[in-house]
A and B are shown apart, each in its own frame.
Chain A
Amino acid sequence: MYFEFVTKDGYLTKNDKTTPDEYIGDSKEKDMCSKKDNAMEENIKPPTSLYLRLEIDLVCASLLIVALITRLYNLNEPNFIVFDELHYGRYVSLYTKGVFFFDAHPPLGKQLLFLAGRIAGYDGNFTFDRIGTPYTENVPIRALRLIPAVAGSLLVSVTYRLMLELSCYQWTAILAALLVLFENCFLAQSRFMLLESIQILFGLCGLLCVIKSTRKTDAASVIWLCIGALSLGCCFSVKYSGVYTYFLALFLVGRQVWRQMSIPKSGLFLILSSLWRLAILFVLPLSVYVGVFYAHLTMLPKAGPHDSVMTSAFQASLQGGLASITRGQPLHVAHGSQITLRHTHGRTCWLHSHAHVYPVRYTDGRGSSHQQQVTCYSFKDVNNWWIVKRPDQVSLSVAHPPDAVRHGDVVQLLHGITSRALNSHDVAAPVSPQSQEVSCYIDYNVSMPAQNLWRVDIVNRDSEDATWDSIRSMVRLVHVDSGSALKFSGRQLPSWGFHQHEVVADKILTHQDTVWNVEEHRYTKAEDRREREREIVTAEMIPTTVTQLTFWEKFAELQYKMITHAPDAPHGHMFASEPAEWPLLVRSIAYWLSPNSNAQIHLIGNLVTWYTGTVSVFLFSSLLIVYALRQRRACLDLPPKASQKFYDAAYILFLGYWLHYLPYFFIDRTLFLHHYLPAYIFKILLLAFVADHIYYILQLSKKSRPLTNLFIISICIWMAYVVLTFKKFSVLNYGTTDLTENDLMNLRWKDTWDFILHKKG
């Protein structure tokens, strides 16, 4: 892993200024670590054919080895489900079985876990039921945890390389890498089936490549940018929060383009150079993203427990599930069709009615029509069947050929069991009084004329006379008299409505809850013409293949559902925390507690690093302000090169930190400490950079020599503290040590941390 193959075709005539990175042609494996000195190569006359160059960066390699040791040590312990392994493990099982599932996060991370599981021969037969369940023999737990652990280890080397790229001292780079290495929260997050370490690794890798690209020209720049773009694409295909890293990279490239503009070169050159950059940065990550979803949908062909989230069309395109019911049903809804109508987006339920009426008076004193209730019911039921009828025809049987209903036609809907027509009128709905009530009605009551005509408005029609197709067509039923649309209001009826969901007619037509689609469908067969009916039915059958949706249709729907999906994460989770609490590590997260001892796992940071990191952010901000003010008064404190380096750090590390942190203040969801980790890695880098900068200032003047030494010594002492704290808290990462109450009290450095103890006896 830590050498590079370079293939060369002899064009390599050395000139002294180039550094090794610039003449990499097609390297198969890009280096994460490359050696500093290239003196040896200077002397060798390169051969004119293929050749292989081997470089090992000892520092980088040894950092990696130490990281691997810490991350991989006892990886199969604890042999229990730890925290979110519950979810990710479940997804891995579903991938193994090819069963479709819905998750609000993009799939790449889960696919990687699955890949590892598959190679190790995981058969998917383990139910991930709750945190703390012991794993059985058939779960290759070591393999499943391997990828996050390796990613977490590589993170250390990438940090090192990134700091070098920011032209820091090598010692600073080592310092940064060590800080990441000895950080309990990264250790904990890397050792289990969790995705943050993978996301952060891809993010930092991408950033590193993009930075390299901005500092080079020509081919090397293109290659680095491509690799960076791919890596960034992977980053936000693991978790959407990776998109902040992508924005940062966009910003950096934008900044580069902006700076190029002040170079006196031709306009065309500038336009081209910025265009190809932007093209790479847009196209590659997006294709990674789409590709990952392509793989996702291809890998999951079977219907499963989650598919009720998706539309009927999507469900029917999967194997089994709805497809097995709807297979062979007629396609076009016609006069006389018996249908079930499903609420397309959001909550799964079917239009429903039953022989109960709305109460005469509601508890708030309003009156109702006292007609038969119409609701939306979340379970399959015989009362979900409706018959489509043209208002002017009496017979309910399907004609030959079927009289297909088209976009814009006016129909009535008869409830199958009670044979009353779907009706709406100017009476306030029971729970949403701003909308109209919908009821089932037959002309008994003379005082109220029937208003039971509905216009079929096909939302996704291809042409103006499109037929109403089962499953595929999304329809809006518009009430002819009032112009309102049949709508699922989202509210539940009280006990008189059996807590089913309310259905209303609403003035606002273009709401997603006004969209319905036919799910199950059959033609009404009249008794006497049974033979012919069967003929008709067989003639109109869809071939016995499953409904086909193109990849793009599926992709678009999945994206739409993922965006609109409201997570029902419990508010007030015991270990939830708020963004404002993160910089001071107010809360930890309990990941696991051993069933038989007090050994436990927590996500908790290294408090020493954590606090110094927060201080460094303040220090850096004040430095930034001071330099800016001084510069405004034309006092240049730093030589141009140092100043350049300082502002680079400001744009990459400082901005990166806030970009990954601030958005959480506006997210209205239950948040946890691990959401802070992508920001935190930037903070650690910033911390190392601040140390670097202070050292730089101190060594500028000869007089402050003793001060410089003092600074180095204090950094060493502080580093020792970091390592000690890491060691002390690592028992909470490995989870193999039984802890007494006393031990836990010793670890409880803050009152707000909650550790768990088994009750005695």
Chain B
Amino acid sequence: MSNKIRKRNTTNDSSKIWWVTFGLLCGATFVTRFYKVLEPDHVCWDETHFGKMASWYINRTFFFDVHPPLGKMLIALSGKLTGYDGTFPFEKPGDKYENAKYEGMRIFCTTLGALVIPLTFLTIWEMTKSLESTFIGTVLLLCDVGFLTLNRYILLDPILLFFMSCSIYGAFKVRTLTEEGLQPFSIRMLAWQVFLGAAIASTISVKFVGLFIVLFVGLRTIADLWNILGDLEKPVSLTIKHLIGRTVTLIVWPMILYVFFFWIHLTVLSKSGNGDGFYSSGFQARLEGNSLHNASAPRVLAYGAQITLKNHRTGGGYLHSHHHLYPAGTGARQQQVTTYTHKDDNNRWLVKPFDREIVSGVVIVRSGDLVRLTHVATGRNLHSHRERAPLTTKHMQVTGYGEDGIGDANDVWKVVISGGKDGEEVQTVKSKLMFVHYLQACILTTTGKQLPKWGYEQQEVACNPNLRDKNALWNVEDNVFEDLPKVSFEVYASGFMERFLESHAVMFQGNAGLKPKEGEVTSQPWQWPINYRGQFFSGSAHRIYLLGNPVVWWTNLVFLAIFFVVYTVNSIRQKRAEAFGKPIQTGKEYDLLNAACWNFMGWALHYVPFWAMGRVLYFHHYFPALAFSSMLTGILTEYLLKSISSYLSQELGRTVYHCAIGVIISTTVYSFYMFSPLAYGMSGPLAHEPNSTMAGLKWLESWEF
């Protein structure tokens, strides 16, 4: 009886301690995150991009960005709700905000960034059910200056990290529920799975690195299902039920959400803006203010029509020519042909059959026809011949040749509709056309390279002997012909799904195009875990430098190595125990190691792929991995301390245990205090000068504060 009461008392006590710890950490989070949150009152680092994009959302003008839309939409929403009117230009870092209401957006981002800490607390608790691990792991993350800095500005990272933490929390909550044996379709189970699904969809809708968290949750789910399947007392149907439940909540539901976010994105951005040029004619027809919006043209192309031809390459321009010749030394001195991204009268071409000047009546151009294209303004024909193109020497030069539309046999091009049959009618906008030179058997293409000054920095047009050129697709955009009935461009305007897919194609191309240029110094993955070099957020009098707390980071690094050793030794010990038929150890320690293992996997998933990426990388790409790494350190610390104290006498063991935890926490907190000016702003001389406030803290030569 008394025993029972004592037990209840201890559970009461421990739950009280739990709440006190949780409250304490929440309080600390609140204080650290919101202290001086509105300083500096100028644009910091990438705020210039995301602030700008928020303005565009508020003004509803279309733009192009390599990231998916959710993060930017949330920033815009928070700005709108707190009275930001979308007029501040966000031109470059360092611009004073003056009267612009940036506070709402910054506080919104900071709030989400701050919520990461309590979520981490809950996550580690869910993984281990051990307060010590939870506390240490959370404190490490709380006291990391880099994490603090990154989460206090109008950036995508706080939003990303918030949704990421939700996903991890959700994943382990679902694991706990599964282990408790909750029925697959029970309300609680489904509710948490729906939460998890929403979290992963949101993560990947903020930045594509969210893909790694999707993979992580995927692995977690497979592990859950595998465990359920392995329980031979339960029927297989249980696994199948779980499988169905998870397919719906973790695959179908996130996909719907993801598409929905894009739907909002495309619906909100209804006005023409600076991103139009990246998209196809059909896409542009949807944008108010674009010349294709509400325009009308004949549905098919007939001989005698005046047209403009748009290249299909991302950001491809219109086929263009002008009264200037190629300079001496670059092929024949004939009239230049280029692509030009702006709309201009020099983009107009007249379509003629190859053998006649005038066609009577309406004759439709069909795939496989031989045509000539005459430049309307200068009367020269589109022409190619065996001369090198100006920049791409393997291709042939394309020129304007002849007078008043009379040229020679090298002006003849065969029109082919890509993926169409011979004899198919050429349609405005919809048909993807290829122009094959009849005599040289090469294909009209643009290489995307900029011509020098003599070509007015327009893009090179050439004739590629390799007919499989992916950039050789063109479509008719304007089509001026009087004798055919006009249809509204509405017909060509892409539907939602087409625009959804197109914006993805453009985003991936944009992402792949973010290559470091020759000689450019970029951050490299090996530098990240060792906290090699940071990133200035704000210069001048109020310097802010994104750099991890070295104590936290280097501890994390050491613990990653320790984990590797511990895990290997443990596996070998287990294997040996198996050999001699000893029982395999289970229990608290095993659970801790298992949780550590999952964190290690999360860390590896968020770090290793960067080694294989060719694109430009930045220091802040490491922060998702850091979250896992800190949790790992927390858990492993407890594991190690428990193991060590188990070798000592009970009394001594407990003393060592508590002392060690005390030392760890106090060191971390003190280092945070020392390095906090990095986040809250430094002024005065740089750290390598003796009278600086940060003197003595420049532990690595490569740090720049």
A positions within 8 Å CB-CB of B = 258, 261-265, 267, 432, 488-491, 506-508, 510-511, 513, 570, 572, 574, 629, 632-634, 666, 668, 754
Determine how close the nearest CB of chain A comes to the CB of B375; give it in whole angstroms: 28
Determine how close the nearest CB of chain B comes to the CB of A262; give it in whole angstroms: 5
Residue in B466, B517, B518, B519 whose Cβ sees the most chain A Cβ within 10 Å: B519
Determine how close the nearest CB of chain A comes to the CB of B391; give it in whole angstroms: 13
B469: chain A residues at CB < 8 Å are: 572
A264 with B579: CB separation less than 8 A:
yes
CB interface residues, B 498-529, toward A, < 8 Å: 517-521
B575 within 8 A of A: yes
B518 with A263: CB separation less than 8 A:
no
B702: chain A residues at CB < 8 Å are: 510
Residue-wise interface mask of B (218-238) relative to A, using a CB-CB cutoff of 8 A (1 in contact, 0 not): 000000001001101000100
Determine how close the nearest CB of chain B comes to the CB of A663; give it in whole angstroms: 9
Interface residues on B, range: 20 to 34
Given A574-B466, A633-B232, also A262-B519 (CB < 8 A): no
| Residue of A whose beta carbon sits closest to that of B227 | A632
Determine how close the nearest CB of chain B comes to the CB of A485; give it in whole angstroms: 12
Give Cα distance in the complex from A258 to B576, angstroms. 10
Given A432-B519, A490-B518, A668-B614, also A632-B226 (CB < 8 A): yes
Residue in B469, B612, B704 whose Cβ sees the most chain A Cβ within 10 Å: B612
Please provide the 6 A-B residue pairs with the shortest distance between their CB atoms, ordered closest to farther: A490-B519, A666-B612, A490-B518, A261-B575, A262-B579, A668-B614
A506: chain B residues at CB < 8 Å are: 521
Give Cα distance in the complex from A511 to B520, angstroms. 10
A633 with B229: CB separation less than 8 A:
yes
B580 with A264: CB separation less than 8 A:
yes
Partner of B519, one of A261, A513, A632: A513
Residue-wise interface mask of B (676-701) relative to A, using a CB-CB cutoff of 8 A (1 in contact, 0 not): 00000000000000000000000000
Give Cα distance in the complex from A632 to B228, angstroms. 10
B226: chain A residues at CB < 8 Å are: 632
A754: chain B residues at CB < 8 Å are: 468
A263: chain B residues at CB < 8 Å are: 579
27 contacts between A and B (CB under 8 A): A258-B575, A261-B572, A261-B576, A261-B579, A262-B578, A262-B579, A263-B579, A264-B579, A265-B579, A432-B519, A488-B519, A490-B517, A490-B518, A490-B520, A491-B519, A506-B521, A511-B521, A570-B394, A572-B466, A574-B465, A574-B466, A632-B229, A632-B230, A633-B229, A633-B232, A634-B232, A668-B614
A632: chain B residues at CB < 8 Å are: 226, 229-230
B236 with A633: CB separation less than 8 A:
yes
A572: chain B residues at CB < 8 Å are: 466, 469
| Residue of B whose beta carbon sits closest to that of A513 | B519
| Residue of B whose beta carbon sits closest to that of A754 | B468
B521: chain A residues at CB < 8 Å are: 506, 508, 511
Give Cα distance in the complex from A267 to B465, angstroms. 67
B236: chain A residues at CB < 8 Å are: 633
Give Cα distance in the complex from A261 to B579, angstroms. 7
Q: How many A-B residue pairs have CB under 8 A?
A: 47
Determine how close the nearest CB of chain B comes to the CB of A297; give it in whole angstroms: 29
Determine how close the nearest CB of chain B comes to the CB of A432; give it in whole angstroms: 7
Give Cα distance in the complex from A265 to B575, angstroms. 12
A633: chain B residues at CB < 8 Å are: 229, 232, 236
Partner of B518, one of A491, A634, A666: A491
- Given contacts A262-B575, A570-B394, A634-B232, could you give 14 more A-B pairs where the C-beta distance is less than 8 Å? A261-B575, A261-B576, A261-B579, A262-B576, A267-B576, A432-B519, A491-B518, A574-B465, A574-B466, A632-B226, A632-B229, A633-B229, A633-B232, A668-B614
B394: chain A residues at CB < 8 Å are: 570
| Residue of B whose beta carbon sits closest to that of A259 | B575
B468: chain A residues at CB < 8 Å are: 574, 754
Give Cα distance in the complex from A489 to B519, angstroms. 5
Give Cα distance in the complex from A171 to B338, angstroms. 63
Determine how close the nearest CB of chain A comes to the CB of B59; give it in whole angstroms: 28
B580: chain A residues at CB < 8 Å are: 264
Determine how close the nearest CB of chain A comes to the CB of B462; give it in whole angstroms: 12
Give Cα distance in the complex from A261 to B580, angstroms. 10
B572: chain A residues at CB < 8 Å are: 261
A488: chain B residues at CB < 8 Å are: 519
Give Cα distance in the complex from A746 to B226, angstroms. 51
A267: chain B residues at CB < 8 Å are: 576
CB interface residues, B 226-274, toward A, < 8 Å: 226, 229-230, 232, 236
CB interface residues, B 448-475, toward A, < 8 Å: 465-466, 468-469
CB interface residues, B 546-594, toward A, < 8 Å: 572, 575-576, 578-580
| Residue of B whose beta carbon sits closest to that of A587 | B468
Give Cα distance in the complex from A572 to B579, angstroms. 57
Determine how close the nearest CB of chain A comes to the CB of B183; give it in whole angstroms: 20
Give Cα distance in the complex from A570 to B447, angstroms. 14
A629 with B229: CB separation less than 8 A:
yes
A265: chain B residues at CB < 8 Å are: 579
| Residue of A whose beta carbon sits closest to that of B704 | A507
Give Cα distance in the complex from A632 to B231, angstroms. 9
Give Cα distance in the complex from A262 to B517, angstroms. 53
CB interface residues, B 595-621, toward A, < 8 Å: 612, 614
Give Cα distance in the complex from A489 to B517, angstroms. 10
Give Cα distance in the complex from A736 to B580, angstroms. 67
| Residue of B whose beta carbon sits closest to that of A506 | B521
Give Cα distance in the complex from A668 to B614, angstroms. 7
B579: chain A residues at CB < 8 Å are: 261-265
Give Cα distance in the complex from A508 to B575, angstroms. 49
Give Cα distance in the complex from A267 to B580, angstroms. 12
| Residue of B whose beta carbon sits closest to that of A264 | B579
Determine how close the nearest CB of chain B comes to the CB of A631; give it in whole angstroms: 10
Give Cα distance in the complex from A489 to B229, angstroms. 59
A570: chain B residues at CB < 8 Å are: 394
Give Cα distance in the complex from A512 to B669, angstroms. 38
| Residue of A whose beta carbon sits closest to that of B453 | A495
Give Cα distance in the complex from A490 to B521, angstroms. 11
B576: chain A residues at CB < 8 Å are: 261-262, 267
Give Cα distance in the complex from A472 to B469, angstroms. 48
Determine how close the nearest CB of chain B comes to the CB of A108; give it in whole angstroms: 28
| Residue of B whose beta carbon sits closest to that of A665 | B612
| Residue of B whose beta carbon sits closest to that of A363 | B453
Give Cα distance in the complex from A255 to B503, angstroms. 46
A262: chain B residues at CB < 8 Å are: 575-576, 578-579
Give Cα distance in the complex from A506 to B469, angstroms. 40
| Residue of B whose beta carbon sits closest to that of A488 | B519
B704: chain A residues at CB < 8 Å are: 507
A511: chain B residues at CB < 8 Å are: 521
Determine how close the nearest CB of chain A comes to the CB of B703; give it in whole angstroms: 12
Determine how close the nearest CB of chain B comes to the CB of A267; give it in whole angstroms: 7
B466: chain A residues at CB < 8 Å are: 572, 574
Give Cα distance in the complex from A574 to B520, angstroms. 30
Determine how close the nearest CB of chain A comes to the CB of B497; give it in whole angstroms: 23
Determine how close the nearest CB of chain B comes to the CB of A665; give it in whole angstroms: 9
Give Cα distance in the complex from A513 to B612, angstroms. 23
B614: chain A residues at CB < 8 Å are: 668
Give Cα distance in the complex from A488 to B580, angstroms. 64
A666: chain B residues at CB < 8 Å are: 612
Determine how close the nearest CB of chain A comes to the CB of B281; give it in whole angstroms: 25
Determine how close the nearest CB of chain B comes to the CB of A480; give it in whole angstroms: 15
Determine how close the nearest CB of chain A comes to the CB of B458; give it in whole angstroms: 16
Determine how close the nearest CB of chain A comes to the CB of B459; give it in whole angstroms: 16
Residue in A261, A267, A513, A754 whose Cβ sees the most chain B Cβ within 10 Å: A261
B520: chain A residues at CB < 8 Å are: 490
Give Cα distance in the complex from A488 to B519, angstroms. 8
Determine how close the nearest CB of chain B comes to the CB of A77; give it in whole angstroms: 28
Give Cα distance in the complex from A754 to B702, angstroms. 53
Give Cα distance in the complex from A258 to B571, angstroms. 10
A264: chain B residues at CB < 8 Å are: 579-580
Give Cα distance in the complex from A265 to B580, angstroms. 9
Give Cα distance in the complex from A490 to B522, angstroms. 14
Determine how close the nearest CB of chain B comes to the CB of A493; give it in whole angstroms: 13
